Amino acid sequence: MPLREGGALTSVKPGPDVDTERSAGLDLLRQPVAIAAGAASALALVLFNIYAFILGDRAPWLLGGILIADMLVVATGIAVAVREVLRTREITQQAEETVARTRGELEASEARLARIVDSAMDAIITVDEGQNIVLFNRAAEQVFGCRREEAIGRPLGRFIPARFREAHRGHVEHFGRTGVTSRRMGDVTTLWGLSADGAREFPIEASISQTGEPGRRYYTVILRDITLRKQAQDTLARQQEELRTLSARVLEAREEEKTLIARELHDELGQLLTALKMDLAWLRERIPAGDPELASKFEQMGAMLDQTVGATRRISADLRPMMLDDLGLADAASWLVEEFARRAGLECRMESSVTLDLSSLDRAVANTVYRALQESLTNIARHAQAKRAWVVLGANDGELLLEIEDDGRGIAPEDLEKSRSLGLKGMRERVSYHGGSIDIARAPRGGTRVRLRVPLRFATAGEASS
Ligand SMILES: Nc1ncnc2c1ncn2[C@@H]1O[C@H](COP(=O)(O)OP(=O)(O)OP(=O)(O)O)[C@@H](O)[C@H]1O
Ligand SMILES: [Mg+2]
């Protein structure tokens, strides 16, 4: 087997080309002209022999000549035969030397290959078609806690947890039939190995390759123990999940706080301002007539009180629209869109195809969708330079769909990565916490389109009344 080592390709060298020489001589003898000439000479000699024998004493010179010719032919035959025997012996000797040298090189090659396989960091196991182990390197010894001598000749299944054995055997056989040279194993699931004493199962990462032909196929599995990596991945996933829950909880707490402040503003401050307005009206009726300066001061105070009442309502509604609780998501969203169009001075319409009653929608889900709409509209006012915007609310297959589009400058992919911008990130976080998805991209019409889907969830009777 040719083996690359230190950049040089070492391979088995052919011996001297003795066979070529010999076969050239034989080829010459096989030429039709040579065969014909040889046969003709032999026939002529036989005929001369018969003729000399018939003539007998009458032609002694012919008899003598023929005898000499016969002896010459026999001597030549013996010489050729001796030469062939000597040459055959020489060729056999050279062939034996070549075989010995080739065997030596082959053994050296195999030893080098074994050293390379043994020095590999990953476990390497080769099995035959019956899935019995024929190669087991040092890393495999460490991974499975089993000496090579104890592994060779034993079934591979011994290193696979019992519940996966059959399936694994089937996968390897199927791989053999596909004829694919190599592939990764366990792309979709985690593979498990079993220590030789059967006490420890551990996750592994493996690839498989095959060599040989049907009936004499070998499968080589290269694998590594990924216990530490899997532990780190699991820890990371758990921490991410905890962070997601924490951030959702923080957002919820913020929402609850806002609701509280909104209620205080609406109930406490609103009532005090109303009382103040009534007192002002009472006072105004009692001031002496004919004092224009006092009358104008009362006018100003009344206007300022109206403004304060309006501002309080607006701030309270921004913090948490009572409508979301009172009327449900669809009407609250519609109010928000109208307010936005009026305040931002752009044309904005909302279409709702929701036929379901959303008034008992889970509060956290309703909040998430409402806040997403609020953030998207604020973004349009702040960044889009748009003239028109469209909002579509719909429900479909147990999901709530919200789409907000504008005809502004359009969002760039790098806008989504801005480290100081939190609006879209918070939106994404909340939506994914509720099992939904969000897509923010440049719209076909050129502006920006935000699309989100959140699974519909309704409040249970207990939650609704709380
Ligand atoms: N409708 C839009 N049209 C064009 N660009 C937009 C639009 N919406 C968002 N962007 C871009 O995406 C960026 C990120 O938006 P994001 O809402 O996350 O943050 P922000 O609005 O800048 O700040 P905040 O954290 O206060 O929301 C914006 O800075 C803006 O450049
Ligand atoms: Mg924003």
- What is the domain partition of the chain in residue ranges? 3-118, 120-225, 231-320, 325-466
Question: Measured from the CB, is residue 423 less than 6 Å from ligand 1?
Answer: yes
pLDDT at 31: 75
Q: Which fold has domain 325-466?
A: Heat Shock Protein 90 (3.30.565)
- 340, 379, 422, 431, best to mutate for ligand 1 pocket (most atoms within 8 Å of CB): 379
The mean of the pLDDT values for the chain is 87
Nearest-atom index, ligand 1, CA of 425: 18
243-292 per-position pLDDT tens digit: 888 888 888 888 889 888 988 888 889 889 989 999 999 988 888 878 88
Phi, psi of 465 (to 5 degrees): -85, -15
Q: Predicted confidence band at 328 (pLDDT cuts at 50, 70, 90)?
A: confident
| Cα of 239 from ligand 2 centre, angstroms | 27
Q: How many CB atoms lie within 10 A of CB 344?
A: 17
Q: Predicted confidence band at 465 (pLDDT cuts at 50, 70, 90)?
A: very low
Which of the residue ranges 93-107, 286-300, 385-399 would you say has the lowest mean pLDDT?
286-300
Nearest-atom index, ligand 1, CA of 382: 21
For the domain spanning 120-225, the CATH number is 3.30.450.20
- 346, 380, 383, 439, best to mutate for ligand 1 pocket (most atoms within 8 Å of CB): 383
Return the residue whose CA atom lies nearest to atom 5 of ligand 1. 411
What Cα–Cα distance (Å) separates residue 457 from each residue in 362, 365, 373, 400, 460? 6, 7, 18, 9, 9
Question: Measured from the CB, is residue 407 less than 6 Å from ligand 1?
Answer: no
Which residue would you say has higher pLDDT here, 465 or 266?
266
3-class secondary structure, 9? strand
182-220 per-position pLDDT tens digit: 888 877 788 999 999 999 999 999 999 999 888 889 999
CA 298 to chain centre: 74
Q: Give percent of the chain with pLDDT exceeding 70.
A: 92
3-class secondary structure, 66? helix
Return the residue whose CA atom lies nearest to atom 31 of ligand 1. 415
pLDDT at 290: 80
The DSSP code sequence of 327-396 is T-HHHHHHHHHHHHHHHHT-EEEEEE---S--TTB-HHHHHHHHHHHHHHHHHIIIII--SEEEEEEEEE
Return the residue whose CA atom lies nearest to atom 27 of ligand 1. 423
CA-based nearest residue to 359, from 284, 229, 459: 459
